[in-house]
């Protein structure tokens, strides 16, 4: 049942039960496992636009966090018998294992079209309550994503060291707003020793590790509501090179004096075209966000570096005054293309230059 009164009947996939959240859609043909475990989907019901889900099964090596993060899952066809040498479970069994309620055999095209035209809205999936008035009442009691701080729900509980290898060249302080594991893997592979901090970390705690760089991770919810992180990031400007992704990008922009807004239905998929303004090249990117930075609110010392070609929203910026930059999409590309992996090298180069100086 959607907030606007439209309902869709299907069959249960996953656990018997009832779940609610903001209903959104992802256009990726593959990558359902990474999508399910991405903390940026906290309190969201994800509709997969591709019709066949579960073809290659589930493995426990490619997950992006330690559990399924979505509130619910909506698909057209479930693959009951996946075919892949790495598969360890079917999609249905995986949802049951994680106590997730989903729905299948519904017209996902109609749901995607509805959200595209009307905008993202709250909804509920129920395997026992079929009373539409009752479901609508439950939806009306749900909070709006606007003004919701969800970073505190998905962040780590305390500081931890990602790799114990002390020979790595760069010390990086990572602020975890809901980080995906592949980001940590890539930074570690680039000779970074990662100190991962909770979202409410203080400036003093970060400085105590003497980082060569600071990384601001992806995460869920409204960036403007994460005021404690905005204050901390603002206080750290100029201390060390800084790189932000998605929610981290938005928080960095807010710390620099820009503003953010909620998109009509967000950008979620693995084939979004982004233009690199500096060299004119088009990158195919992986994206997952419901908010964006208002390009017209950028202070004069911020230079736009990337633009989303689907709707001309800001997709990246840099501020050379402080040696910081960020992008609205996922260069770690899990799932997705590898066109933007160079951004991690750019972060390494910034730290290298800062060390020289």
Q: Which residues are catalytic?
A: 246, 330, 332
Task: Output the six-digit token pair for 227.
Answer: 């005021």
Q: Is the peptide bond before 206 cis (omega within 30 degrees of 0)?
A: no
Phi, psi at residue 126, to the nearest 5°? Answer: -135, 135
Q: 3-state DSSP call for residue 19? A: strand
Residue 131 CB contacts under 8 Å (≥ 6 apart), including other chains? none
Pairing of strands 242-245, 213-216: parallel
Which residues is 13 bridged to in the sheet? 102
Which residues is 319 bridged to in the sheet? 324
Residue 320 CB contacts under 8 Å (≥ 6 apart), including other chains? 301, 303
Cα–Cα distance, 135 to 124 (Å, whole number): 7
Closest CA to 335 of 274, 269, 276: 269
Cα–Cα distance, 285 to 195 (Å, whole number): 27
Cα–Cα distance, 338 to 107 (Å, whole number): 31
């Amino acid at each position: 049942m959607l907030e606007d009164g439209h309902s869709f009947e299907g069959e249960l996939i996953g656990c018997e039960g009832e779940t609610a959240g903001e209903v959104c859609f992802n256009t990726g043909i593959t990558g359902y496992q990474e999508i399910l475990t991405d903390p940026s989907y906290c309190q969201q019901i994800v509709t997969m636009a591709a019709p066949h889900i579960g073809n290659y099964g589930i493995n426990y090596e490619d997950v992006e966090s330690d559990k399924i993060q979505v509130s619910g899952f909506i698909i057209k066809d479930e693959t009951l018998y996946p075919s892949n040498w790495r598969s360890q479970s079917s999609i249905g069994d995986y949802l049951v294992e994680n106590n997730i309620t989903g729905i299948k055999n519904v017209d996902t095209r109609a749901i995607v079209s509805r959200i595209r035209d009307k905008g993202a809205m709250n909804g509920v999936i129920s395997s026992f309550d079929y009373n539409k008035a009752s479901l609508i009442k439950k939806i009306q009691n749900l909070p709006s994503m606007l003004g919701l701080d969800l970073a505190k729900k998905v962040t780590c509980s305390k500081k931890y060291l990602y790799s114990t290898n002390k020979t790595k060249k760069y010390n990086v302080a990572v602020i975890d707003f809901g980080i995906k594991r592949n980001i940590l893997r890539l930074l570690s592979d680039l000779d970074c020793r990662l100190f991962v901090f909770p979202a409410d970390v203080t400036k003093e705690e970060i400085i105590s590790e003497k980082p060569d760089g600071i990384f601001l991770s992806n995460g869920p919810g409204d960036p403007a509501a994460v005021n404690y992180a905005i204050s901390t990031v603002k206080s750290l400007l100029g201390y060390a090179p800084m790189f932000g992704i998605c929610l981290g990008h938005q928080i960095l922009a807010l710390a620099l004096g820009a503003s953010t807004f909620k998109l009509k239905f967000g950008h979620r998929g693995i084939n979004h075209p982004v233009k690199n303004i500096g060299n004119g090249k088009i990158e195919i990117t992986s994206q997952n966000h419901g908010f964006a930075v208002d390009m017209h609110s950028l202070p004069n010392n911020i230079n736009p570096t990337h633009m989303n070609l689907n709707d001309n929203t800001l997709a990246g910026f840099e501020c050379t005054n402080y040696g910081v930059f960020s992008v609205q999409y996922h260069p770690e590309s899990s799932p997705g293309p590898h066109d933007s992996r160079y951004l991690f090298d750019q972060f390494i180069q910034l730290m290298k230059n800062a060390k020289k100086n």
